[in-house]
Amino acid sequence: MSRSEELYTQAQLSIPGGVNSPVRAFKGVGGTPVFIEQAEGAYMFDADGKKYIDYVGSWGPMILGHNHPDVRNAAIDAASRGLSFGTPTAIEISMAEKVISLVPSIEKVRMVNSGTEATMSAIRLARGYTGRNKILKFEGCYHGHADALLVNAGSGALTLGVPSSPGVPADVAQHTLTVGFNQLDQVEQVFKEVGDDIACIIVEPVAGNMNCIPPQPGFLEGLRALCDTYGSVLIFDEVMTGFRVSRGGAQQFYQVQPDLTCLGKVIGGGMPVGAFGGKADIMNHIAPLGPVYQAGTLSGNPVAMAAGLAALNAISDESQYQLLEDNVTKLMDGFRASAAKHGIPLTTNQAGGMFGFFFTDAEQVTSFEQATQCNMEQFKAFYHAMLEQGVYLAPSAYEAGFMSFAHSDDDIEETLRCADVAFARLAKQ
């Protein structure tokens, strides 16, 4: 038995499912989750001492690579002065100013402790600001686990939302409308019927929770125009895309400005940090300035702010993103070429430092429906062939992959060598 298998067995006795967040349990690919002990740059090392080239990056935060010295030292330095004060601190101002300088549409920003808090708070603010209850989201997009967001589409876009988890009251879910990602015609239809009741649209500008699906040309622009026409708030959930798709996020990459932006992952450099921000006249509705309540004992925590600010300072060079994108292109071109060589149908998507690959005959995957129709058996077999060879990909066909600045040409070459072996094995099945 490997050490990871021993730990997984032990963990299940005291932690539900043995994990503190469900996707870590490898349900999407089967087998035993790998328990990690240490990580450095592009690599992770498991409890059995095995080394992996990592394309998950703690699910997004590690754009600089693991254990970056600037981030580590900033956290240690801040910790030496105290872990939390529950008072305002100067570093919170530096962090706010940094975020405002990097993200085009943010004029004011508030720190929270997770992506879930960021989206939950942004939606409350949009509702409080507009005085409306309904929100519109997209099938296959994930915005954290707040009640209003754990909702499936009803049988038609205009039927009531249905809770996607026990514990979410139908009364809450009914205000959440769900339509297809990249389906602007569906959004237009919903707005025609109930647009005056819609507080906000919340969207992942590049969907990263149904594999990786970029917006079709005109989609984000269309959402912007509808929100302008109907007085609804446009929220970009950039928890995944922020400081990842480009330095200024997807809004800079696609040149569409939302009213509110949710941030997480990279913004904390690995510490539990999220943020939401946007136009000052909307943000001024939050307590203590305005009536919309939102709070957090540990929000703006000095150690988290120090780590996050060090991470954002280290990515202040825009040119790093071109290199990141070129490396993602190299990896995806290599995957497709290798799959084609072995007769395995495969298509890929990418945006900045995010990527996704799909086992499908389709030329391009642009919708949730297509993402769900891919060959899951091939994905699982490929996943385990890569893991065995020391390449750590997201253990689910519905997650995006992440490249970091620490990945070298050699790492990409080695990954492509492993992929060639994996595709060859699939071809024999």
For the bound state, the minimum distance from the C-beta of residue 105 to ligand PMP, rounded and expressed in Å, comes to 17
Residue 20 or 319: the one with the smaller Cβ distance to ligand PMP is 20
Q: Which helix (DSSP H) or strand (DSSP E) does residue 254 occupy?
A: helix 249-254
Task: Let me know if 361 is a catalytic residue.
Answer: no
| Dihedral over alpha carbons 62, 45, 67, 297 (to 10 degrees) | 70
Which residues, in sequence order, are CB contacts of 34 under 8 Å at separation 6+? 4, 46, 47, 50, 52, 387, 392
- The residues facing 207 across adjacent strands are 213
Residue 60 or 195: the one with the smaller Cβ distance to ligand PMP is 60
For the bound state, the minimum distance from the C-beta of residue 92 to ligand PMP, rounded and expressed in Å, comes to 19
DSSP state of 300: T
Residue 173 or 344: the one with the smaller Cβ distance to ligand PMP is 173
For the bound state, the minimum distance from the C-beta of residue 385 to ligand PMP, rounded and expressed in Å, comes to 26
Task: Let me know if 108 is a catalytic residue.
Answer: no
Task: Let me know if 52 is a catalytic residue.
Answer: no
For the bound state, the minimum distance from the C-beta of residue 116 to ligand PMP, rounded and expressed in Å, comes to 3
Q: In what order do the strands lie in the sheet with 274-278?
A: 108-112, 274-278, 260-263, 233-237, 198-203, 134-138, 176-179
For the bound state, the minimum distance from the C-beta of residue 35 to ligand PMP, rounded and expressed in Å, comes to 20
Residue 276 or 423: the one with the smaller Cβ distance to ligand PMP is 276
Among candidate residues 46, 54, 237, 411, the one labeled active-site is 237
Residue 195 or 258: the one with the smaller Cβ distance to ligand PMP is 258
Residue 241 or 415: the one with the smaller Cβ distance to ligand PMP is 241
Expressed in angstroms, the distance from the first to the final Cα of the chain is 27
Q: How far apart are CA 142 and CA 203, in angstroms?
A: 9
Residue of minimal Cβ distance to ligand PMP: 115
Q: In one letter, which amino acid is 54?
A: D
Among candidate residues 265, 321, 383, 398, the one labeled active-site is 265
For the bound state, the minimum distance from the C-beta of residue 291 to ligand PMP, rounded and expressed in Å, comes to 25
DSSP state of 62: -
For residue 200, give both structure tokens.
């906000």
Q: How far apart are CA 259 and CA 264, in angstroms?
A: 17
Contact 120, 292 (CB under 8 A): no
Report which of 34, 26, 40 is spatially closest to residue 270, judged by C-alpha positions.
40
DSSP state of 375: -
Residue 119 or 261: the one with the smaller Cβ distance to ligand PMP is 119
Residue 114 or 246: the one with the smaller Cβ distance to ligand PMP is 114
Report which of 411, 339, 412, 331 is spatially closest to residue 375, judged by C-alpha positions.
339
Among candidate residues 8, 142, 254, 383, the one labeled active-site is 142
- The residues facing 45 across adjacent strands are 38, 51
Which residues, in sequence order, are CB contacts of 176 under 8 Å at separation 6+? 134, 135, 136, 137, 148, 149, 151, 161
Binding site for ligand PMP (CB under 6 A): 59, 114-116, 119, 142-144, 204, 208-209, 237, 239-240, 264, 274
- The residues facing 178 across adjacent strands are 137
Q: What angle do CA 246, 248, 250 make, to 5 degrees?
A: 65
Contact 174, 328 (CB under 8 A): no
For the bound state, the minimum distance from the C-beta of residue 333 to ligand PMP, rounded and expressed in Å, comes to 26
For the bound state, the minimum distance from the C-beta of residue 117 to ligand PMP, rounded and expressed in Å, comes to 7
Could you give the residue numbers annotated as active site? 142, 237, 265
